[in-house]
Amino acid sequence: MTDGRAYAAYTYNVERLVPWRTLTGRQHFYLDHELYLAYGEYLPTYKPSPRPEAYGDLRETLKSGEAMALNCLTPHGKWHIHSTYMENHRMLTLSRGCEPCWLSEADAAKLGIQDNDWVEVYNDHGVYCARAAVSSRIPRGVCIVYHVPERTVGIPKSQVRGNRRAGGHNSFTRIHLKPNYLCGGYGQFSYHFNYWGPIAPQRDTHVIVKKMTKVIF
């Protein structure tokens, strides 16, 4: 990151010919490990996202079946590192004063939500209040809250939680550990700070999105 050059991972492997941290020192396409073999992921494998019933995040929130359940994803923030650099005047102006909840045009129309309306994103675990960003870029059945808004700026009180202050997107997510990422043992499966180790597959859940009728800070 000198002389204005952007950071990029693994440049020391390519430019300085340092071997990759694997058993062979090369990149691997096939993962010869008994746990990956057992789970059928020794080669790149497509697996669909689990259904809401498998996650069990809407057992108390969605009982009547009248509301629309959306798959909520929390990708990494586009212009900030966690909360750092987000809470300044320029960034808050660009992001509507908060980290919004992105919705598809079709789902927003069904929910009676227009662009920039205040909405609540919630399930059995917690609730997040934000403005809606309605976009044709978002597929049906999905909503997005970028990782990771702090509970300090632009968080109103929640109507579905008895007028208590809403939380962040960590409020409605929970940890789902994938056994593959705990296998360890050798080579690339050994711990290496910030590169190898359990990742964050918990950033995938199902929520209800509801328009707020009254916004109280």
Interval 9-60: pLDDT, tens: 888 899 999 998 888 888 888 888 888 899 898 998 888 888 888 888 999 9
pLDDT band at 158 (very low <50, low <70, confident <90, very high): very high
pTM for this prediction = 0.83
pLDDT band at 156 (very low <50, low <70, confident <90, very high): very high
What fold is seen in the domain 52-211? Barwin-like endoglucanases (2.40.40)
DSSP for residue 138: S
Q: What is the pLDDT of residues 114-146, one digit of tens each?
A: 999 999 999 999 999 999 999 999 999 999 998
pLDDT band at 78 (very low <50, low <70, confident <90, very high): confident
Domain regions of the chain by residue span: 52-211
DSSP string, 53-103: HHHT--TTT-SSS-SPEEEEE-PBPSS-BTTBTTSSHHHHHHTTTS-PEEE
pLDDT band at 109 (very low <50, low <70, confident <90, very high): very high
d(CA 109, CA 19): 53
